[in-house]
Amino acid sequence: MKRIILLVTTLIIGANAHSQNSMLTSELNDLTFYALPYEYNSLEPIIDAQTVEIHYIRHHKGYFDNFIKLAKEQKLDNITLLELFDSISKYPVGIRNNAGGYYNHVLYWENFKPGNRKGISKALNEAIVRDFGSIENLIAKVNDAALKRFGSGWAWVVVVDNGLLKVCSTQNQDNPLMDNSEVKGIPIIAVDVWEHAYYLKYKNKRADYVNGIWDLINWEEVSELYANALKK
């Protein structure tokens, strides 16, 4: 896990550091709520405007507000989010759920781009072919993880210690940066499979939602996250 922390810390210092990365290394008392980088209707028709608004304002903001409140009660102001995740099993479940809920959604929103930029980097494409055989196989594996997640949770693409890509799934608001995760790594793609992420439009058809969001994935962003995760 120490290597993962070093990798993420290195990832922060690039010229184009992302919101989520700055958030991971900020002390908790310096955190502010993440600003959605597009309009609520920007992800239509795949994700409708009402779902984005409710998901962002009520759920994501709720996780943030609850997390900050609980962190103050636990006197955690002077540690970073990354440090918290690295020892999350020591803290109450409310801290774990709300800290994860805040961070996970930042990556989720940043994975999307209105109009879907298709500019996947050569390095990421080669890594996907190396580890999965093709991008279609990667998508199929992520979709399978998302659909097999019983109840609420997430499917992830992560960069693990040896630089390989892996697909995994976590329950509730857990993520692969947490010390209790079966697969530990730096997330570069997050797929939210809580019902509030899709139910207004897709009802119980999780598969339709999971298949559809690949038309929104911002491959330029994911490529940059991958490149930064490999830096030492």
| Per-residue pLDDT tens digits for 167-196 | 999 999 999 999 999 999 999 999 999 999
Q: Check if the beta carbon of residue 179 is closer than 8 Å to that of residue 86.
A: yes
Strands (E), the chain: 153-159, 165-171, 186-192
What are the beta bridge partners of residue 158?
166, 187
For 8-32, what is each residue's pLDDT tens digit? 333 332 323 356 668 888 899 999 9
For 218-232, what is each residue's pLDDT tens digit? 999 999 999 989 984
**Domain map (residue ranges) of the chain:** 1-232
Give SS3 for 79. coil
> Can you give the pLDDT at residue 231?
83
- Confidence (pTM): 0.90
Query: How far is Cα 34 from Cα 102, in angstroms, rounded to an integer?
Result: 9
> Which tokens hold the place of 115?
């109009």
> Can you give the pLDDT at residue 20?
63
Average of per-residue pLDDT across 52-58:
98
> Can you give the pLDDT at residue 19?
65
Query: How far is Cα 206 from Cα 215, in angstroms, rounded to an integer?
Result: 16
Q: Rg of the chain's alpha carbons, rounded to an integer?
A: 17
> Can you give the pLDDT at residue 228?
87
Write down the CATH number for the domain with range 1-232: 3.55.40.20
Q: Check if the beta carbon of residue 110 is closer than 8 Å to that of residue 37.
A: yes
Query: How far is Cα 177 from Cα 196, in angstroms, rounded to an integer?
Result: 23
